[in-house]
Amino acid sequence: MRPSTALASKHNSLLFVVFGALLCALFILSLFIGKYPLTIEGLISGSELQWRVFTTLRLSRVVVGLAGGFALGIAGFIFQTVFRNPLASPDIIGVSSGASAGAAAGILFFSSSIMVTLCAFGGALIAIVLAIAFSVIDRGGHKSTVVLAGIAVHAIAQTVLMCLKLVADPEKELASIEYWIMGSLNGINSHIIGSNLILCVVGLILLIMLHRQSILLSSSGDEAKMLGVDVTSMRLILLGLSTLVVSSIVSMTGLISFVGLLAPHCAKKLTGNNSVSTMILGGLIGSCILILADILARSVAATELPVSIFTSAIGAPFLVLLIFQGRKDT
Amino acid sequence: MKRLTSLLLVSVMMLFAACSLNPGDTTSNQDAYYPITVTDQSGREVLIESEPQRIVSCYYIPSSLLIALDLDSRMVGIEDNADYRPIYSLSAPELLDLPNVGTVKVFDVEACMATEPDLVIMPLRLRDTASVLEDLGLNVILVNPESQDLLIEMIDVVSRATNKVDRGQELIDFITNTDDMLNSLLDGVDSHTVYLGGNNDFLLTSGNAMYQSGVITNAGGINVAEDIDDTYWAEVSYEQVLAWNPEYIIIAANSQYTVEDVLADENLAVVDAVNNGNVYQLPSNIEAWDSPVPGGILGSVWIANVLYPDLVTDEILENTIEDYYETFYGFSIEA
C-alpha cells in the first residue's frame, strides 16, 4: 500500500468513526426528546404507556429520520454522480414535484393520511416514468437529456399542483398541502412506516451493490462502455432506484429540502474522492442532518415546525464552510 | 312586537328555571351512568368506562362546547393559538395556561399523550390520528359540526359521553328555540339579498353547501351565492358580485379587511349595499358567529337584526346574546 493511499484510508476511517459516533449520539438523544416525558427509568420499570409511546411514536420517528437522511444522502450521491453535476438532486428529475402533486391530490380527494402517502408515492413514480420515457426519445444518449426531461416533468407536475391548489379550500386543504410541501416527521408512527421502510432499505442495498457501476458512469460514457457497462440502461436503473428510495421517504414525511444536495457534497469535500466510502459517508451525514433538524423542529417552539427550515439552516452554513475550506486548501 | 318580546322573556325565564332544576350534572350519578357506549360523528362506537376527568380538545368548536357544558375545569390540553379566541379569556381564562396539543393541521400526538387524558375530542379530519391514539389506549371522540344539525348532534354525543346530558339538552333547546323565534319573527318577510365576504378575501364567499349560508338563510336573508355548490369558500369575481348586486354585504367575523375597505372599493361603487351603506362585519369580540360554534345561532340573530331591525330589535338581540353567555358561559355582556 502506497503511503498516500494508506493516509487516505486512515482519513476515511476517521471520518466514519466521527460521523458514526455523531449519528449514534443524535439517535439516542432524539429518542428521549419530545413533548411526552419519556424516561429511561420509566422504560426499565416496564410502564406500558411509556413503551407504547416509545415504540409507536418516538422510535418510528427517529428510525424514519435515520433512514430518510441516509436515503436522501445516497440518492443525492447517485444523482450527482450520474449527471456529473454537483448541483444535481432528486428535484432535478421532477421526483419531488411529482410527489407534491400526488400528495396534494391525496389531501384534496381522500384526506386520509394513508391515501396521501400512496398518492405521493404514485406521483413520484409517474414523474420518474415520464422522465425516463421523455429521455428515451432522444437516442443520442446525452446526459443532459434526462435533466431536460426532468425539467419538463417538473413543469407538468407544478401545473397539476397549481390546478389542485386552485380548487383547494384555502382554510383547510390548501393549508395542509402547503404544510406537506414544507415537510415534517410529526405524523410518523409505527402504523404507516412498515412497507415504505422495507422498500427504502431494499432500494438502498441495491444502490450500494451497484456503486461500482454508478462510479463508472461518472467518467466519460466511452470509458464506461469500454468497461462493459450499458450506459443508458444503467443510468435509468440507478435513477429509477434512487427515485424509489426518495419517494418511499418523502411520501411519508413530505418534502425535505437540501439534504439530498448537501450530504453527498459534504462527503465529497471531506474525502476528496468519489468512492463507495464517500457514498456511504454521504448517507451518514444525511442521517445526522435530518435527525438534528427533527430534534430542533420539535423542541425550539411550542408547536412542531417544518423540518425543512432546519435542514436548510443547518446545511447551508456547513456547505459554505466546506467551500471556504476547499478554497484555502488549494 | 311586545307579544314577541314577552314570549322571548318567558322562554328565557323557562331556560333559567330549567337551569335551576338541573343542578344534578355532577359526578354523583356516574356509577349508574357508566360504562356507556356512544357513537361518534364518524360512526365509531366508543366505550367509555368511567366519567372522563382529563379531557383534551384540539379544535376550538368542541373546546367552546366543553366550556358550555361546564367541563372546562376538566380540560388538560387545548388547541394551539387558544389566545386568539376571546371566549376563553372571557369565560375560562385558565384554559390559556393549558399545554397545547397542536392544531387540526398539525396535531402533536406526543404533547397530547403527555397530558395523560382519558378522553380526546378531535375533528373528523383527524380520523387517522384518532386510530393511533386509540392504539395508545385513549378514548377518542370524532366530531364534525359542519351544519346546524351536525352541531346539535355533536352537542348530543359529547354531552352523553361526559354525563352532561341535561346541560347538553339545554344548549340544544336554546339553539332550536332561538331558531324557532327567528322563524316566527320573520314569517312572511320580504327577504333581502346578502353577500357574505370570506375571512381571507372579500372575493371569497360561501355557497349553499356551507354552514355560513345557513347562518344567512336562518336570518331571513337570501344568500346571493346560493347556486354555488362548493363545500368551502369559493372564489368569485367583482363582475359576479356586481351581477348579484346584493342589498346587504356581511363580512366574516375574522376578516383581514374592514367595512371601510369595502365601502372604499371603487370596483363595488355601483352595488346597492355599498351605495346604501349596508355593509356590516360580524362581531369577533366574543366568538366568530359565522362558524359552527355552539353559539353560532347568534350569528343569525345578529344578521336578522341588521336586515330587519324593526322585527328583530336591538333589545331582542341583546337579550338573546346576554342570556346565552350568562347561562352557558357565566359572564355578562355589556350592552
Domain ranges of chain B: 34-163, 178-328
Please answer whether residues A36 and B132 qualify as being in contact, where contact means their C-beta atoms are separated by less than 8 angstroms: no
CB contact under 8 A, A302 and B80: yes
More confident residue, B4 or A237: A237
Distance of alpha carbon A159 from alpha carbon A148, whole angstroms: 17
First-to-final CA distance of chain A:
26
- What pLDDT is recorded for position A138? 66
Nearest to A269 by CA among A330, A185, A218, A188: A330
Mean pLDDT (whole number) for B278-305: 95
Q: Bridge partners of B205?
A: B234
**Residue A7 maps to a domain:** no
Mean pLDDT of chain B: 89
- What pLDDT is recorded for position A29? 95
**Residue A292 maps to a domain:** yes
Contacts of A238 (CB under 8 A, 6+ apart): A78, A82, A207, A210, A213, A214, A217
B36-50, B224-238, B298-312: range with lowest mean pLDDT: B224-238
- What pLDDT is recorded for position A187? 80
- Cβ-Cβ contacts under 8 Å, B132 against chain A: 56-57, 189, 191
Q: Please say if the pLDDT value at position B267 is more than 80.
A: yes
- Cβ-Cβ contacts under 8 Å, B200 against chain A: 170-171
Q: What angle do CA A280, A285, A288 make, to 5 degrees?
A: 130
Closest residue in chain A to residue B231, using alpha carbons only: A169
CB contact under 8 A, A52 and B80: no
Mean pLDDT (whole number) for B123-137: 89
More confident residue, A325 or B189: B189
Q: Which residues of chain A have pLDDT under 50?
A: 1
- What pLDDT is recorded for position A70? 97
Distance of alpha carbon B154 from alpha carbon B122, whole angstroms: 11
Q: Closest Cα of chain A to B96: distance in Å? A: 13
Q: Domain count of chain A?
A: 1
A303-307, B65-69, B100-104, B119-123: range with lowest mean pLDDT: A303-307
Mean pLDDT (whole number) for B326-331: 95
Instruction: Report the relative pairing of strands B204-205 and B234-235 from DSSP bridges.
Output: antiparallel
- What pLDDT is recorded for position A220? 63
- What pLDDT is recorded for position B13? 41
Closest residue in chain B to residue A175, using alpha carbons only: B105
- What pLDDT is recorded for position B327? 95
For A122, the grid coordinates are 404514485
Q: Closest Cα of chain A to B289: distance in Å? A: 17
CB contact under 8 A, B114 and A36: yes
A36: amino acid identity, one letter: Y
Q: Please say if the pLDDT value at position B1 is more than 70.
A: no
- What pLDDT is recorded for position B26? 42
Domain range enclosing A274:
15-329
CB pairs under 8 A between A and B: 78
Confidence of residue B244 (pLDDT cuts 50, 70, 90): very high
- Cβ-Cβ contacts under 8 Å, A189 against chain B: 109, 132
Q: Closest Cα of chain B to A276: distance in Å? A: 39
A18-22, A326-330, B238-242, B278-282: range with lowest mean pLDDT: A326-330
Q: Which of A163, A176, A300, A304 to mutate to test the interface with B (most CBs of B within 10 A)?
A: A304
**Residue A10 maps to a domain:** no
What superfamily would CATH give domain B34-163? Answer: Nitrogenase molybdenum iron protein domain (3.40.50.1980)
Distance of alpha carbon B134 from alpha carbon B126, whole angstroms: 12
- Cβ-Cβ contacts under 8 Å, A298 against chain B: 110
Nearest to B244 by CA among B222, B276, B220: B222
CB contact under 8 A, A53 and B199: no
Q: Which of A118, A167, A189 to mutate to test the interface with B (most CBs of B within 10 A)?
A: A189
- What pLDDT is recorded for position A248? 84
Confidence of residue B20 (pLDDT cuts 50, 70, 90): very low
Mean pLDDT (whole number) for B152-167: 97
- What pLDDT is recorded for position B7? 40
- What pLDDT is recorded for position B6? 43
- What pLDDT is recorded for position A327? 63
- What pLDDT is recorded for position A137? 74
User: What CATH code is carried by the domain that includes residue A193?
Assistant: 1.10.3470.10
Q: Closest Cα of chain A to B87: distance in Å? A: 21
- What pLDDT is recorded for position A72? 93
- Cβ-Cβ contacts under 8 Å, B113 against chain A: 35-36, 49, 53, 57
Contacts of A189 (CB under 8 A, 6+ apart): A56, A57, A60, A61, B109, B132
- What pLDDT is recorded for position A234? 86
Residues in B whose CB is inside 8 Å of some CB of A read: 80, 99-100, 102-103, 105-106, 108-111, 113-114, 125, 127-129, 131-132, 135-137, 199-200, 204, 231-233
- What pLDDT is recorded for position A69? 96
3-state DSSP helix/strand/coil % of chain B, to nearest 5: 50, 15, 35
- What pLDDT is recorded for position B31? 63
Q: Please say if the pLDDT value at position B49 is more than 70.
A: yes
| CATH code linked to domain B178-328 | 3.40.50.1980
More confident residue, B245 or A1: B245
> Of B99, B106, B204, which is closest to A186 when you measure between CB atoms?
B106
A227-236, B89-98, B111-120, B272-281: range with lowest mean pLDDT: A227-236
**Residue A72 maps to a domain:** yes
Mean pLDDT (whole number) for B135-150: 93
Residues in A whose CB is inside 8 Å of some CB of B read: 34-37, 48-49, 52-53, 56-58, 111-114, 168-173, 175-176, 179, 184, 186-187, 189, 191, 298, 302-304
**Residue A9 maps to a domain:** no
- What pLDDT is recorded for position A150? 81
> Of B108, B131, B231, which is closest to A304 when you measure between CB atoms?
B108
Region of A142 please: left (phi>0), alpha (psi -120 to 50) or beta.
beta
Q: Closest Cα of chain B to A104: distance in Å? A: 14
Confidence of residue B24 (pLDDT cuts 50, 70, 90): very low
Confidence of residue B195 (pLDDT cuts 50, 70, 90): very high
**Residue A4 maps to a domain:** no
More confident residue, A137 or B305: B305
A283-292, B15-24, B140-149: range with lowest mean pLDDT: B15-24
Mean pLDDT (whole number) for B115-137: 92
- Cβ-Cβ contacts under 8 Å, B129 against chain A: 113, 187
Please answer whether residues A99 and A124 qualify as being in contact, where contact means their C-beta atoms are separated by less than 8 angstroms: yes
Q: Closest Cα of chain B to A44: distance in Å? A: 19
- What pLDDT is recorded for position B176? 96
